[in-house]
């Protein structure tokens, strides 16, 4: 659906309220219908945090319980993190959409999820732009360039499979909720600049329990200054990359697959390319490089578009 013809509120969110359908369910359902965004945020964070608690308490986290998660593909994070990620943003968007729009709303939502037909150049822009942004940002981080080298050929061979894995795991778990469901409503209510900033903060806060696990680049325990600095820089990076995702999302007529590939490319470059290119840099430096690189991009986009980021829809 074109940005110019999209209704004031996404059809799947407004159908029931506008026509008085799908009433019932008690006060909880009425709250969800009245406050779909707040309901989505509460459900996304609550469901993920609850599912992540065993991982946080295990030996892979704070070590308060004496058990460890089994490794899949050599990493405990797939079983420790991914289930909670799926039932959070994706599950919350599914529930709130169903309560508000029923089957018709779910059909509309699903159609937007698979909008692959966009102008051909957006995919190469994303796949080239993300690595360049992260590499330049890391080079601008003091001391990161010491011992810099070109990544070995095996990294290039592994990039596409790793990207596809990120698409069907992290990307598919998060982006249908954060971008396809929440972003259009945030832009309508707060405008693209402020709406993206708020969404970026919520997105960062959603990750917070994972900083107490092996997922954290600064270690699972907040007993050093670096831990707090890493959390703060991560929040800034989430806000900064959110501006890039919003700009791409708006310019591709709200194509979720392109935004999803952007997110997946970021994770793939950060996990397998940057460590090989900057072997002497601490892992937390990668977060700083992302904050710097995406921060520059965000500033340029905000200035060049006067804060519109390609948004042409209505405002409350």
Q: For residue range 52-83, what is the model confidence (pLDDT) as tens digits?
A: 999 999 999 999 999 999 988 778 888 999 99
For residue 7, what pLDDT is reported? Answer: 41
What is the spatial distance between Cα 290 and Cα 275, in angstroms, rounded to a whole number?
13
For residue 277, what pLDDT is reported? Answer: 93
Q: 21: number of CA atoms within 13 Å, CB side?
A: 15
For residue 6, what pLDDT is reported? Answer: 41
The pTM score is: 0.89
What number of other Cβ atoms are within 10 A of residue 224's Cβ?
11
254-to-114, 152, 170, 249, 260 alpha-carbon distances in Å: 11, 36, 19, 5, 11
For residue 280, what pLDDT is reported? Answer: 87
Short-list 121, 60, 33, 51, CA closest to 91? 51
pLDDT tens, per residue, the chain with 316 residues: 333 334 444 544 544 444 444 456 688 889 999 999 999 999 999 999 999 999 999 999 999 999 999 988 778 888 999 999 999 999 999 999 999 888 887 887 777 777 777 888 999 999 999 999 999 999 999 888 888 998 888 898 999 999 999 999 999 999 999 999 999 999 999 999 999 999 999 999 999 999 999 999 888 889 888 899 999 999 999 999 999 999 999 999 888 999 999 999 999 999 999 999 998 888 888 899 999 999 999 999 999 999 999 999 887 7
For residue 76, what pLDDT is reported? Answer: 86
For residue 109, what pLDDT is reported? Answer: 74
Short-list 116, 90, 53, 58, CA closest to 254? 116
């Amino acid at each position: 659906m074109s940005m110019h013809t999209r209704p004031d509120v996404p059809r799947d969110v407004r159908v029931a309220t506008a026509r008085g359908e799908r009433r019932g369910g008690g006060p909880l359902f009425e709250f969800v219908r009245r406050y779909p965004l707040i309901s989505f945020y509460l459900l996304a964070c609550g469901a993920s945090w609850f599912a992540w608690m065993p991982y946080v308490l295990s030996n892979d986290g704070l070590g308060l319980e004496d058990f460890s998660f089994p490794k899949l593909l050599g990493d405990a994070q797939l079983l420790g993190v991914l289930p909670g990620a799926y039932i959070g943003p994706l599950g919350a968007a599914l529930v709130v959409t169903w309560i508000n729009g029923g089957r018709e709303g779910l059909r509309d939502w699903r159609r937007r999820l698979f909008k692959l037909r966009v102008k051909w150049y957006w995919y190469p822009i994303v796949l080239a732009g993300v690595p360049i942004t992260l590499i330049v940002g890391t080079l601008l981080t003091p001391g990161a360039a010491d011992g810099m080298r070109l990544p070995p050929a095996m990294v290039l061979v592994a990039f596409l499979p790793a990207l596809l894995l990120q698409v069907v795991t992290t990307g598919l778990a998060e982006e249908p909720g954060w971008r396809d469901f929440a972003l259009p409503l945030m832009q309508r209510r707060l405008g693209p600049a402020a709406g993206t900033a708020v969404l970026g903060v919520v997105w960062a806060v959603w990750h917070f329990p994972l900083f107490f696990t092996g997922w954290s680049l600064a270690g699972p325990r907040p007993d050093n200054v670096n831990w707090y600095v890493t959390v703060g820089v991560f929040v800034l990076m989430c806000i900064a990359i959110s501006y890039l995702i919003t700009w791409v999302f708006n310019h591709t007529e709200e194509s979720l697959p392109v935004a999803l590939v952007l997110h997946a490319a970021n994770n793939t470059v950060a996990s397998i390319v940057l460590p090989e290119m900057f072997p002497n840099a601490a892992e937390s430096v990668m977060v700083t490089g992302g904050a710097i690189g995406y921060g520059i991009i965000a500033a340029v986009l905000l200035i060049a578009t006067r804060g519109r980021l390609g948004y042409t829809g209505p405002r409350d």
